[in-house]
Amino acid sequence: MIFCGLQTLSLVDFPGKVAATVFTGGCNLRCPYCHNARLVTAPADAREHYEEREILAFLSSRRGLLDGVVLSGGEPLLHEDLSDFAARVKAMGFAVKLDTNGCYPQRLRALLETGSIDYVAMDIKNSLPKYPLTVGVLGFDTAPVAESAALLMDGPADYEFRTTLVREFHTPADLLSIAQWLKGARRYFFQSFMDSGELIGSGLHGFSSDEMRAFAETVRPFYGEVSLRGVE
């Protein structure tokens, strides 16, 4: 595999773990608020490129210092050889977390069946009727996303769902629709939208901290746990 980024230390990307994060290039979606636009639209132009052997050598040097490794993107499940890489990382003694948009349920299922993934963070882009608008793909089929969500909720792996809230795309009604869809999910995170300066779209805005807290309280009865990220 070719990786387009490496964060050598993170205390927040893998709950309860000191981790490194590796970033794959490419994505099947074009969410206007995506903050990794270059990884999505032009991975060949990414500032960094690492061969798999370089990543594994780095991880080998961090045994005993890191608890886990996050596989992020882009969309990692675009890459058919991700399973082999995850198995190698797991064999080195690291816990492995996957960040995914849920569009590849069969690959997700196969990964979970190997036991190489310990934790999955799945992005929920919006209520199902508003997915095409939110992900920037006309006629987007939400069936694979729904299948992936059900797979996580019914499976043994630890997981979270998370939504980045953008004023131009999300309404309280949307959040209640998501809550009814995913009622009973283990944990749900609302993330505050931040303009990284490298977005796919433009003219987008986040919500205030008070609004974010109110959204969390509204949906709290539907989930095992509801928390906020990026909110002071």
Tell me which residues of the chain have a pLDDT lower than 50.
Answer: none
Q: Give pLDDT, residue 231.
A: 86
Structural domains of the chain in order of their starting residue, each with its CATH number: 2-229 (3.20.20.70)
What are the structure tokens assigned to 50, written together? 């690492």
**Residue 30 contacts residue 135 (beta carbons within 8 Å):** yes
Q: What is the C-alpha to C-alpha distance for residues 201 and 131, in angstroms, rounded to an integer?
A: 16
Could you report the per-residue pLDDT of 156-172, keeping only the tens digit for each?
899 999 999 999 999 99
Q: Give pLDDT, residue 46.
A: 67
**Residue 144 contacts residue 135 (beta carbons within 8 Å):** no
pTM of the predicted structure, to 2 decimals: 0.95
